[in-house]
Homo-oligomer: A and B are copies of this chain.
């Protein structure tokens, strides 16, 4: 019999969240690999929990696409500062990008997964995926996989590399550097787009799902091939196909912190990020003003995602979480990551949520997200 030892604290009224965290973790088999959950309500921390053999509240691991939430907040800040214009073509400051029918793609198109630039013919090497600048250079010559604007599809490794290049050319600094200077350091967030060597001791490796390589091959065999839009979007059209587990476990990826997938952090960092964005944190003001928040949390794209193959709802750079958690408000925004991290804010209820796990699901699905979010919502509504 497995005993899960949940550690940490919850505020009065949030005991049910602690129970759900324990139950869910067992049920989902995150097991000894561990997980963390941190929740704020209107800027007050109400949940700070963790479990796992090697995990504490301070443990860091790979957050994968939850990184995009941090990058999207930086984009929002640069738009807020009028440094970037959402309706400007990407190619305006980056002429090479206009090749192969990409001249009219705007920042807004990229942020809403409408660009069609979801990969490259022949695929990216694992080495290339560590470095946004290299990704951007390869994307510049690529023809979109659909007529820009005509459809939506999630470019798992491409969109924030494009935006990062725009940021670099507009500001002379990397998106990662801006995040560090304007967000991570002043708000004291445990979330890194580029993990310093000095923090490496807190990193715990991402673990694979329980499927064997053979089972994984079977999982994919009936579905889209490596050169389908799905395969290209998820980096399966390279040789060898992308190993997502290895990605975060590679020091070079962690050091460079690519904005699409290379962030390292913990649940405190993720929940803190969204708290800082909406409510402010540590005595500092909210990163985003109401109008910026309004624009970035407006739904922009709804429908079949050509890469994911299912219905998706996107805001500017964020996933529209109200469609995933319909008990939350229409303005709920956030981003999850493929190993099971999840982070969001609901400006209406005041909930900000950060969750991390170290082990991939074998099916890329994490039902505990819904149950945890529901438990938090229920507790927050009652208090």
Q: Which of A278-318 contact B (CB under 8 A)?
A: 291, 294-295, 298-304, 306, 311
Residue ID in chain B nearest A143 by CB atoms: B294
Copies in the complex: 3
**Which chain B residues lie closer than 8 Å to A294 at the CB level?**
100-101, 143
**Which chain B residues lie closer than 8 Å to A145 at the CB level?**
298-299, 330
Contact A302 B223 (CB under 8 A): no
Which residue of B146, B227, B302 contacts A151 across the interface (Cβ within 8 Å)?
A: B302
Report the bound CA distance from A330 to B122 in whole Å: 12
**Which chain B residues lie closer than 8 Å to A306 at the CB level?**
299, 302
Q: Does A224 sit within 8 A of B, measured CB to CB?
A: yes
Q: Does A225 sit within 8 A of B, measured CB to CB?
A: yes
Contact with B along A136-149 (1 / 0, CB 8 A): 00000001111100
Q: Does A348 sit within 8 A of B, measured CB to CB?
A: yes
**Which chain B residues lie closer than 8 Å to A228 at the CB level?**
322, 326-330
Q: Does A150 sit within 8 A of B, measured CB to CB?
A: yes
In the complex where A299-B151, A300-B150 touch, is A225 in contact with B327 (Cβ < 8 A)? yes
Q: Does A271 sit within 8 A of B, measured CB to CB?
A: no
Residue ID in chain B nearest A230 by CB atoms: B326
Q: Does A135 sit within 8 A of B, measured CB to CB?
A: no
Contact A302 B150 (CB under 8 A): yes
Shortest beta-carbon distance from A90 to chain B in Å: 18
**Which chain B residues lie closer than 8 Å to A223 at the CB level?**
326
In the complex where A151-B299, A294-B100, A304-B302 touch, is A322 in contact with B229 (Cβ < 8 A)? yes
Q: Does A37 sit within 8 A of B, measured CB to CB?
A: no
A228-B322, A299-B306 given. 11 additional CB < 8 A pairs? A101-B298, A144-B298, A146-B300, A147-B298, A147-B299, A147-B300, A150-B300, A150-B301, A225-B327, A227-B328, A229-B299
